[in-house]
Amino acid sequence: MFRKDEVEIWPENFDAVLLFCRLGTQWRTGMAGPTGLDYCAVLALIDRLGLSAEAADDMFEDVRHLETAALEVLRESAK
């Protein structure tokens, strides 16, 4: 179930959150539900941003942190 709570996004995280939202249909799933994002899709979208190598690496790590947090919430709500 979706909640309509407002959340604050720090400016330094805004681009990563936008990218993460664009990846909403790119989850890999198994019998137990979502297992993680399809990193091919993640990296393809990051590549399209035209970032420097260092900035692209940072963006990938930011998205991975969001993925981990999302998986924790999904697993908790499945209990």
- Model confidence at 6, in pLDDT bands (50, 70, 90)? confident
Q: Is residue 25 part of a domain?
A: yes
Encoded amino acid at 37, one letter: L
Q: Enter the pTM of the model.
A: 0.86
Could you read off the pLDDT of 35-78 as tens digits, one per residue?
A: 999 999 999 999 999 999 999 999 999 999 999 999 999 998 88
Mean pLDDT for 11-26 is: 95
Mean pLDDT for 19-47 is: 96
State the residue range of the domain holding 15: 11-77
Cα separation, 57 vs 22, in Å, equals 18
Structural domain total, the chain: 1
Cα separation, 65 vs 77, in Å, equals 19
Residue 78 confidence (pLDDT): 80
Residue 1 confidence (pLDDT): 44
Q: Is residue 1 part of a domain?
A: no
